[in-house]
Amino acid sequence: MTKHLWIRAALCTVVALALQPPAWAQPAPTLNKPGRIVVTVPPGGGIDTIARRLATKVAPAMGQPVIVENRPGASGVLGVDNIVRSAPDGSSLILAAGSTITVLPHLMKKMPYDASKDLTPIAQIGVTPLVMLVNADNPAKTLGEFVAAAKARPGTMSYGSYGNGTLGHLIGEAFKHAAGVDLVHVPYKGCAAAINDLIGGQLSAVMCDIGSSAAFLQPGSRLRGLAITGTGRVAAFPTIPNFPEAGYPTLGPLVGWLGIFGPANMPKPLVATLMADFAAVMKTEDMRAALAQIGYEIGDPDPARFARTVREDTVLWGKLIQSIGGIALE
């Protein structure tokens, strides 16, 4: 009798344990307060629009309303510093341009944080190439012809960018270095002003993001694209070769991107949940369409590859800036 009771008790214990969910199957962590996504630009622009779309779409999965908080200034440092100082509970995230994270530390002597240690990469949202533009009246129909003209008249040709220390500036300098040409850099406050002067004949070329340039690359436009960064071609402009195809492989990796980051020391289960939430959002067609409107393609959905991209880009841009003699921003 005792033996039978022992067997029954053991069976009950086994059944009870089987009915309990395993530790790894516990409910995913959710926010216990409203969330926010910081952007380092003023309201109304393309990146701000993407942030607001992300906030709306990710809020249901996070279980709380998510707002967008604009913190422009100091080339993005103010916004990133705010996140670095926030609690690592998932309620404070930032949508940042890759240049803010991987380039700026090499350009500014004093930074209030170490981006490589004080941030947690969560999701790459979008990727965009930059394009080298010339006036449609320019006799150079290819990048090779442009280089030949620049070598024939050293120091007399110029290129515009959307500001000192921007990707347009750095890629322009990298091109000069790789091609062995002497072009005068003219910085502007944004691509629009530089493009206007290119159309007006005051510049020989402009290095700008594809989103700002798209309207000027349509058939019959006043401008022509000579080459884009990246290793593929842009679907909307398939006739524009990339720099590696044109003979400049070192310019291929020099693309822009947008990514979601949180503070350092976030719990791993929380990070995993946020990664999955944003990955699901990025699969939606309306998110893809919203990014395409500002010249971006969907970013790499793999979180491990995104973290690697952040590390590798930080090294890549540091070496590039050093190779062209260094650039410093106050």
Domain boundaries, the chain: 35-127+255-323, 130-251
Query: pLDDT-based confidence at 219, cuts 50/70/90?
Result: confident
Q: Which residues are CB-neighbours of 72 under 8 A, at least 6 positions away?
A: 40, 41, 42, 78, 79
The answer to whether residues 158 and 203 touch, using CB atoms and an 8 Å cutoff, is: yes
Query: pLDDT-based confidence at 284, cuts 50/70/90?
Result: very high
pLDDT value of position 328: 77
For β-strands 119-128 and 35-39, DSSP reports them as: unpaired
Query: pLDDT-based confidence at 144, cuts 50/70/90?
Result: very high
pLDDT value of position 29: 55
pLDDT value of position 220: 85
- CATH number at 35-127+255-323: 3.40.190.150
pLDDT value of position 330: 63
For β-strands 183-187 and 205-209, DSSP reports them as: unpaired
Please give the Cα distance from 286 to 57 (Å, whole number). Answer: 10
**Partners of 132 in the β-ladder:** 207, 227
User: Collapsing DSSP states into helix, strand and coil, what is residue 90?
Assistant: coil
pLDDT value of position 36: 97
The answer to whether residues 309 and 303 touch, using CB atoms and an 8 Å cutoff, is: no
User: Is it true that domain 130-251 has CATH number 3.40.190.10?
Assistant: yes
Please give the Cα distance from 251 to 42 (Å, whole number). Answer: 30
pLDDT value of position 323: 87
Choose among 190, 186, 197, 134: nearest CA to 162: 190
Please give the Cα distance from 96 to 70 (Å, whole number). Answer: 11
pLDDT value of position 192: 94
Whether the per-residue pLDDT at 2 is higher than 50: the answer is no
Mean pLDDT of 132-140: 96
Please give the Cα distance from 107 to 111 (Å, whole number). Answer: 10
pLDDT value of position 277: 95
Return the minimum-mean-pLDDT range out of 19-28, 136-145, 184-193.
19-28
Domain pair 35-127+255-323 / 130-251, same fold: yes
CA separation (Å) from 136 to 169, 186, 205, 225? 22, 20, 11, 9
pLDDT value of position 25: 37
pLDDT value of position 327: 80
Report the percent of the chain where pLDDT is more than 90. 84
The answer to whether residues 102 and 310 touch, using CB atoms and an 8 Å cutoff, is: yes
Order of strands, edge to edge, in the sheet holding 157-161? 183-187, 157-161, 205-209, 130-135, 223-228
For β-strands 183-187 and 157-161, DSSP reports them as: parallel
Choose among 89, 96, 81: nearest CA to 37: 96
pLDDT value of position 292: 92
Q: Which residues are CB-neighbours of 34 under 8 A, at least 6 positions away?
A: 64, 65, 66, 67, 91
Whether the per-residue pLDDT at 233 is higher than 70: the answer is yes
